[in-house]
Structure 1
Amino acid sequence: MRRETKKTFFISGTDTDVGKTLVAAGLLYAASAKGLTTAAIKPVAAGCEQTEDGLRNSDALMLQEAATLKLSYQQINSVALQPAIAPHIAAEEAGQRLQATRITGFCRGVLMQGADFTVIEGAGGWRVPLNGRETVADIAIELNTPVVLVVAMKLGCINHALLTAEAIRRDGLPLAGWVANRVDAQMSRFEENLATLQSLLPAPLLGVVPHLENPDPQLAANHLDIEPLLSAS
């Protein structure tokens, strides 16, 4: 069933390499399964490879494949940086300056395409710098976008998740939901940690993604419930 209200969510994580892209693409597949048109944006990507078509990022390509709205690579990933390092450092080395206003302009261009369900994936965690005074969070703030937090389930995840959720709230944005991604298959007391997060995070748990040797967003989609996102005002 098609929904009249367009939904956009900013996908953040408790750290880098927590599975943001896996979850973001999984959310796209879950939305598509409900008959919604979908779009994806990864405005800033470090760790790109040089190809005959230019710099390409594997995460951005995964999102491009998952979305029903077929956009050009440049629309999905407007800032492509080659070194797999902090984006502001990679940009400085490339003679560029990242600016939140410019990046959000690219995002708005995609949002104007009118997909039912759009995800904007951040780079690293919530406070990753863009320059000397702005962070990735400023992209979400300027767009006034609800946030979905991906929590890497491993030792230390409770502290990381609660601090990130606190920062999101202090920045004036709603935490629309969170996803537990089991990055550590051998995590001790997994269920107890999950229960603690459920009791302390002020947002619905959208799903628990099991440890996947070969991360597959279509498999991840089977473990995600997007109804709380679709029903939120």
Structure 2
Amino acid sequence: MNRNIKQQIGFFIQPEIGITSFDLAARGAGKMILREDVQAGDIDRYLKWLGAENAKGSEIQVRPHRHDSNAVIFLDDVERGQALAISRKYSACVIETSKEGGCHIWLQTDRPLNERERYLAQRHIQPLINSDRGSISGEHFGRLAGFKNHKRAGQWVNVISVSSAGAWTVPREALIDCEPSVSNQPFSPPSGVCVVNNSSTGGSESENEWGYVCGRLEHGADPILLERELVERATGRGKRNAVSYAHRTIKRALSHVTRHDQI
């Protein structure tokens, strides 16, 4: 295990945070290979496979296991100087994804948060630091340091700061959940994603779902988990053959997003 990986995983598993299980992903060429619930002590076993996938052009990603409550939240595309300033004030792991791009921040929180609470905490802090709105999800992957970022001409992803300045205290108001559940709210694309349709009423359900899944995939969502979400949504609105519809939509969207990335 190289120094960058040790630093990043070491931040997660320190006693103050105590994460023990991770999800690993290799994403590229219209597919995502996902390994879920990998114990911290077993990550070494996956590094050779991840290295081979990275050499073939896949982006290597990691997150604390999605279904665990974890005392960290993920913030994406934070300007380098601001990311380092945050790490001086709070316990954080800052990942530089390229020289030109912004940084990932894994920010320690003062309590373990479930997926919905992580989403709410991200939503609260995003406008304060101007991080990427598309990464507000509670289940988002970040890059695993020590591998190449092929979206940035193969630049190496590096840890540039690991700090222990103290956890960010999640404000009580940040966790007030006044939004409907995902299965009941309309699908709409994230900010910056353009969906073309010819309907004066804003597009059909299928058009809205197409824009939604493309936007989520562009921001690193799991295709497998997104497909499950789409099945639930389509079934709830009475769509016939919801399972095959969701599978076909995700497959097309992966191909579309991959072509878009290459432009």
Q: TM-score range by the shorter chain?
A: 0.3 to 0.5
The TM-score normalised by the length of structure 2 is 0.30
User: Which structure carries more relative contact order (alpha carbon 8 Å, separation 6+)?
Assistant: 1
Choose between structure 1 and 2: higher helix proportion: 2
Larger Rg: 2
**Normalised by the size of structure 1, how large is the TM-score?**
0.32
